[in-house]
Amino acid sequence: MSPVLPDDADVVIRVRGLKTAFGEQVVHEALDLDVRRGEVLGVVGGSGTGKSVLMRAIIGLQTPVEGSVEVFGESMVGRDVTDALDIRKRWGILFQGGALFSTLTVAENIQVPLREYYPDIRPPLLDEIAAYKVVMAGLPADAGPKYPAELSGGMTKRAALARALALDPDLVFLDEPTAGLDPISAANFDTLTRELQQTMGLTVFLITHDLDTLYALCDRVAVLADRKVIAVGTIDELLALDHPWIQEYFNGPRGRTAMKSARPATTDRT
């Protein structure tokens, strides 16, 4: 039976036959992936399987050797940055590690995308929007004038999230948002992300190694291995597959602990 594919209108990101490479090193080959409107799609895979490079190919920072990438129905391949402005301003990105500008305050960091896409916005409005985003991301109101070096790890992630949400995007890319956070801060960040995703109707492309985050947030999970997406589905659908990496990942000791904590009533499957 062929899989039921979502309507075009329901697909925010469509990747077909993607090949990426750095010189002789092929990272992806014949990779297909759909991200549906309003879902949180988790992307998992071993270190170096190409999760971040996939994200970069989708947002137009990595030129594919072959294949197509569409976002909001528009091709991103070979697209000039200025040409794709209308698409770019519909997404926000939280890069691995936050990637805040160290010489700018939190408020100024949040204002960067606003200044870039709406150069005519007047400073008082910029300040107002930044202050609103600071609170929205769960930071104390006095975090705006602080510099990144003055923030804790959790605050840095929230500041980066505030910047990703600066333009009220439809789509958000989160690259390992909870990496380096203690379990309580990570769980708080997951809750915040879920609340914002639901209230803003966001589509989320989420790269993570964090099993608790997968259980807490993801509607579906795509597994990267062997240079492609080898499976995509709910965690239960993935658990039913026989692939050794998937079984080791979700059914290994950490996977079982995450499942028990997300679903206390679930019986141990081993």
Task: By CB under 6 A, name the binding residues for ligand ATP.
Answer: 22, 27, 45, 47-53
Q: Which is nearer to ligand ATP, 48 or 123 (CB)?
A: 48
Strands 74-75, 91-94: pairing kind: unpaired
* DSSP codes of every residue in 218-237: -SEEEEEETTEEEEEE-HHH
* 12 or 53: CB nearest ligand ATP: 53
**Shortest distance in whole angstroms from residue 138 CB to ligand ATP:** 25
Q: Please, what is the minimum distance in Å from the beta carbon of residue 174 to ligand ATP?
A: 13
The least distance separating ligand ATP from the CB of residue 61, rounded to whole angstroms, comes to 10
Least distance to ligand ATP, CB of residue 41, Å: 15
- Of 53 and 230, CB closest to ligand ATP: 53
Nearest residue (CB) to ligand ATP, 3 versus 22: 22
Q: Which of 53, 50, 166 is nearest to 100 (CA)?
A: 166
Shortest distance (Å) from residue 209 CB to ligand ATP:
6
Check if the beta carbon of residue 216 is closer than 8 Å to that of residue 189.
Answer: no
Instruction: Select 107 or 173, whichever has its Cβ closest to ligand ATP.
Output: 173
**Shortest Å, Cβ 69 to ligand ATP:** 15
Q: Which is nearer to ligand ATP, 53 or 174 (CB)?
A: 53
Strands 228-233 and 220-225: antiparallel
Which residues does 29 contact at the CB level (< 8 Å), separation at least 6?
19, 227, 228
Nearer to ligand ATP, 108 or 210 (CB): 210
Distance from chain centroid for Cα 31? 18
- Rounded distance, CA 54 to CA 102, Å? 26
What's the CA gap between 211 and 217, in Å, rounded? 10
Quick one: how far is CA 240 from the chain centroid?
25
Question: At residue 41, what is the residue type?
Answer: L
Give me 216's structure tokens. Answer: 């807490």
Angle at the Cα of 66 from the Cα atoms of 64 and 71, rounded to 5 degrees? 60
> Measured from the CB of residue 159, what is the shortest distance to ligand ATP in angstroms?
21
